[in-house]
Structure 1
Amino acid sequence: MSNHTLRPLVTTLRILYPVWAVVGMFSLIYVPSRIFLKDDLGTTGNNIQNLSGLFHLGILGSLTTQLIFIVTAWYLFRLFRETNLPAAQLMLMLALVSVPMAMLNELFTLTMPLYTDQPDQLRLLVNLHKYGLQIVMLFWGLWLFPLGYLISHSGYFPRAVGWLAILGGAGYTLGFLLKLLAPEASAVLQVCEYLTMGEVLWLLWLIVAGARLPEQSVSG
């Protein structure tokens, strides 16, 4: 694939990725930190009512994040399909599987305002959303394994960057398994959270450094 063909793909990804990251952090980190208080459903219910605008912006942000992720995964597939088509197809499949799961999981959040005065029902919805998100995170980890392989073997990026993505995938995947099988292993779970930073480092490399594109056409 020629430089002329690859450059627009990389440029688009360097725009999509930071937008995806900012919207994702807003909806997954900032909004929950303002709305949900652990073991205090009374305050959580009040926050859902009193900060209704922020609450619904968080839902919109979560859905928007998934839509951006679809486009991002497609552009990554186009970038890497000549590196290894089966690996690129696997990456795309694992990425796309997570999207409807994540969007359907927001149904629990959308329903929460109906039960702000019913602690038991609200607790159930909060827990269902939390556990649903954990299942989605499994696929957020799995898709990084073929992505890391493609990064390492494409020649567009340093091989170490690909291994960082693979470490990120290991962090998400092992974190899911530990929360399911050994939730009391808090120290190991913390290590898994650190490993997920590998995905962030890959993202930063792409945004800041871009890709080393070939000057002439290359075969996959």
Structure 2
Amino acid sequence: MLRMMRAPSIGRYARIAGVLMVLTMIFGYLGELYIPSQFISTDAATTAQRIASAPLLYRFGFAAYLVEAVCDVALSLLFYVLLRPVQRPIALAAAFFGLVSTALYGVAEAFYFIPTIWVGGAAFMQPFSPEQVNALTLLSLKIFTRVGWIFLALYGIASMLRGWLIYRCGFLPRALGVLLMLGGAGFVARNMTFVLAPQYSSTLFLAPMALGGLALTLWMVLKGVDVAAWEARAEGARAL
């Protein structure tokens, strides 16, 4: 009876993970890329003016990130549940790396939100000249961008560990695991070159993750996991 109840739940968990991955892609694009790009300029005055003229859109960028972060935390749990029958310590390590990477990117996003404190003419900012306020605004957004890149390897490691588990699991296609490992390695390469050799760093390192993440998302939404194979793997793990 317990087995009959558990199997459909794993199928539902997989589909839920797929939906959360879709939301992560949508809101991550909005909160991390598209909306910030509408405000950040190389000119401090222009950046501050854009924020002051569209404060709701600017704040929506942060709200979009919050949705992404909630989804990422939930995905850390769901992938742990789905992959722990393969090798529990590695599944747990992947969950930890995923959670820490989400938390550290949250630090970066705090610097994105900070300019809302002073852009708009708050009374306590009167001792600062407009040029100083503009410079502080652009500096905060530069820190947001920089901090977002310097911890990228942690998410890459989480992805590589999940990819390895998927490759070995038997209830998801091995190709998805390979793509996810390559994507994670690309994130690590982007992080390391950004820190150690900026002249060689490129967003092209992120391309494998775009492919692997999209493939895994589509598979989880449309197919889910092979529940019978997952159950067999889980029974084997319990027998050890």
TM over 0.5: yes
Name stretches of at least 5 consecutive residues in structure 1 with no aligned partner. Answer: none
User: Is 2:73 the counterpart of 1:70?
Assistant: yes
The Cα shift of 1:140 comes to 1.7
TM-score by length of 1: 0.90
State the identity %.
21
Letter paired with 2:7: N
**Which residue number in structure 1 is paired with residue 218 of structure 2?**
204
SS in 2 for 1:214: helix
Counterpart among 177, 192, 208 of residue 195 in structure 1: 208
Letter paired with 1:105: A
Letter paired with 1:164: L
Q: Distance in 2 between matches of 1:217 and 1:196?
A: 29
- 1:141–1:215: structure 2 CA closer, same or farther, 3 Å change rule? closer
Counterpart among 82, 106, 110 of residue 79 in structure 1: 82
User: Is 2:153 the counterpart of 1:153?
Assistant: no
Q: Distance in 2 between matches of 1:60 and 1:190?
A: 25
Contact 1:35 1:51 (C-alpha < 8 Å) held by counterparts: no
**Which residue number in structure 2 is paired with residue 141 of structure 1?**
156
Count of aligned residue pairs for this structure pair: 217
The Cα shift of 1:190 comes to 4.3
Counterpart among 27, 31, 50 of residue 31 in structure 2: 27
Q: Distance in 1 between matches of 2:53 and 2:230?
A: 58
- 1:216–1:146: structure 2 CA closer, same or farther, 3 Å change rule? closer
The Cα shift of 1:138 comes to 1.9
Output the aligned Cα RMSD.
1.9
**Highest CA radius of gyration, 1 or 2?**
2
User: Is 2:52 the counterpart of 1:52?
Assistant: no
Letter paired with 1:18: V
Deviates more, 1:94-103 or 1:45-54: 94-103
Counterpart among 84, 100, 103 of residue 103 in structure 2: 100
